[in-house]
Amino acid sequence: MLPGFSIGLAHKGKWYELARIGVHVSIVGAIYKAVDRALERTCDTFQIFTRNPRGWRLKPLTEDAASIFVDKVAKAGIDPVVAHMPYLPNLASPRRAIYRKSLYALITELERCGKLKIPFLVTHLGSHTGRGYETGLKNILSALDSALSKVDNETMLLLENTAGTRNSMCSTFEEIQIVVDGIEHHKKRVGVCFDTCHAFAAGYDLRNEDAVKKTIDKLDQLIGIKRVRVVHANDSKGDLNSKLDRHEHIGLGRIGEVGFRAIVHDKNLRELPFIMETPINEIRDDFENIKILRQLSKEGTA
């Protein structure tokens, strides 16, 4: 038995002795090549953009590409696969043209996830751009209701907490719960993606075991831990409550190794998939970050 675990972790009938750990991988060349890249990195889980994330235009997803992707994922035994919304959509936008394009992007992504049999789609909830929280909230709720009404498949939409940058929506657990409560007809299809860097930047301490417990207990009280389906495991370049959305390598940021050891061992989080969106540079790459987070999951929470 590995140190730090007296029992394994069960998920969909599978048994894991360690946390499921992966990274965001590229789809360059063909969407199904992402599976090969995930396997190369020894991922247990992984995240992708299903399209070019930096533009509004997109190439259609062919049936052949979707079929190959689904087959490769099944053969690889990687679970779950997570998709992320592209960068440009802003569901809170008061500008009608941007709002309409953002809603269309959300609908399209839900449809693509259905074809790819991807169970989770992560979305940021955007910025009210100075027009006020209530305006942003109204637009978000309208967009989520419209998209989930139009696309009826098994993909769950995960709302990601933000770092609290100026005019951003849903940096607090209270604000996320307001959105969940406002989705009257589709609550079963909405969950949460908990981003550690964003939470820390927004003022939720994660630097040690006691701090992690307090933060996750608060999340459970306000949102419900069962609604959290994915953890974005990212260290933070910024200090606690800095409102700085800058990801750092695991253990090299302000959360640190002690914090991440506590995070991957937390009783409410450890059965969830941990997906990193950490930098790739001269300091470290995906392989090293996976190795380090996996090692922390083997260790005790001293």
Catalytic residue among 44, 195, 266, 286: 195
Structure tokens at 294: 């996996």
Catalytic residue among 54, 96, 166, 185: 54
Distance, CA of 251 to CA of 270 (rounded, Å): 18
Quick check: is 124 catalytic?
A: yes
Q: Residue with structure tokens 């999340």?
A: 219
Q: Is 160 annotated in the active site?
A: yes
Q: Which of 24, 41, 51, 124 is catalytic?
A: 124
Nearest to 72 by CA among 110, 118, 141, 108: 118
CB atoms under 10 Å from CB of 67, counted, come to: 13
- Indicate whether 11 pLDDT > 80: no
Q: Is the pLDDT of residue 23 over 70?
A: yes
Q: Specify whether 16 is catalytic.
A: no
Phi, psi of 263 (to 5 degrees): -65, -50
Quick check: 165 and 243 in contact, CB under 8 A?
yes
Buried b (16+ CB within 10 A) or exposed e, 16-50: bebbbbbbbbebeeebbbbbebbbebebbbbbbbb
Active site residue 186: no
Question: What pLDDT was estimated at residue 2?
Answer: 29
Set 24, 247, 249, 265: catalytic member: 247
Residue 184 binned pLDDT confidence (cut-offs 50, 70, 90)? confident
- At residue 299 the predicted structure's pLDDT band, cuts being 50, 70 and 90, is confident
CATH of 9-298, one of 3.80.10.10, 3.20.20.150, 3.30.1600.10, 3.90.190.20: 3.20.20.150
Residue 15 has pLDDT above 50, yes or no: no
Query: Phi/psi at 301 (nearest 5 deg)?
Result: -100, 50
Structural domain spans, the chain: 9-298
Q: Which of 44, 245, 266, 286 is catalytic?
A: 245
Residue 96 among the catalytic residues: no
Reported as a pLDDT band with limits 50, 70 and 90, residue 7 is very low
How far is residue 17's CA from residue 35's CA, in Å, rounded to a whole number? 23
Return d(Cα 153, Cα 276) in angstroms, integer.
Answer: 27
